[in-house]
Amino acid sequence: MSRLIKFSFRIPESLLDAVRQRTSNISEYIRSLIEDDLGKHTETRDYPKTPYVYHAKLVSVTDGDTLELDIDVGFDITVRGTVRLEKINAPEMKTAAGKRAKDFISRKLKGTHLVIETKKTPGKYGRILAKVFYHRTRKDYREILQYGSLINDDMIEAGHAKTSK
């Protein structure tokens, strides 16, 4: 989708002379410069398609795919909730692999800023299903979504979880 945005600005005569030396169609040349510049600022990650995005703080790690979080729902209201990492399945805690998965996620998320993207309704066991993004220094949710890491993917890439439905 594109929108026509009309605007005007003054261009010094010296710049116009320089542009005229490169092209006969000044409007087209300026349009190409703007499009090139916009391309440099294109987002690398899509923003969520859902309005359910919240800042959160890690309270504890239950296992390799379940976290206890304090979730900032706005208006100075924080809710503690059990969050199940969406679309992954980690080994059970009674196994050595389960303990390694829990240790891995604990180390990765310790001291980071979290943003969760959730669905409207909880999962079948009443837990919040979420993608959990994190970053060590950035605090703004847009920056965490864009520049941060997704722990759900990190768990799979590190071999501590498998993809699930």
H-run or E-run covering 25: none
Q: Are residues 110 and 34 in the same domain?
A: no
Contact 155, 91 (CB under 8 A): no
Q: What was the pLDDT predicted at 134?
A: 98
Domains: count for the chain:
2
More confident residue, 5 or 17: 17
Q: What is the pTM of this model?
A: 0.70
Q: What is the pLDDT of residues 94-138, one digit of tens each?
A: 999 999 999 999 999 999 999 999 987 888 888 899 999 999 999
Q: At 80, which CATH number?
A: 2.40.50.90
Q: Are residues 16 and 60 in the same domain?
A: no
Q: Are residues 86 and 128 in the same domain?
A: yes
DSSP for residue 158? T
Q: What is the pLDDT of residues 126-153, one digit of tens each?
A: 889 999 999 999 999 999 999 999 999 9
The two beta strands, 113-118 and 162-163, are: unpaired
The residue count of the chain comes to 165
Note down the domain range covering 38: 11-42
Q: Are residues 15 and 94 in the same domain?
A: no
Q: Are residues 30 and 110 in the same domain?
A: no
Q: What was the pLDDT predicted at 137?
A: 96
Q: Are residues 32 and 106 in the same domain?
A: no
Q: Are residues 38 and 96 in the same domain?
A: no
DSSP string, 66-117: EEEEEEEEETTEEEEEEEEETTEEPPPTTSHHHHHHHHHHHHHHTT-EEEEE
Q: Which residue has the tokens 């409207």?
A: 120
Count Cα neighbours of 66 within 13 Å in the Cβ-side half-sphere: 13
Q: Are residues 133 and 100 in the same domain?
A: yes
CA atoms of 21 and 18, how far apart (whole Å): 5
Q: Read off φ and ψ for residue 59, nearest 5 degrees.
A: -95, -50
More confident residue, 62 or 13: 62
More confident residue, 97 or 42: 97
Q: Are residues 89 and 143 in the same domain?
A: yes
Average pLDDT rounded to a whole number, residues 4-33? 67
Contact 32, 19 (CB under 8 A): no
Q: Are residues 25 and 96 in the same domain?
A: no
Q: Are residues 88 and 35 in the same domain?
A: no
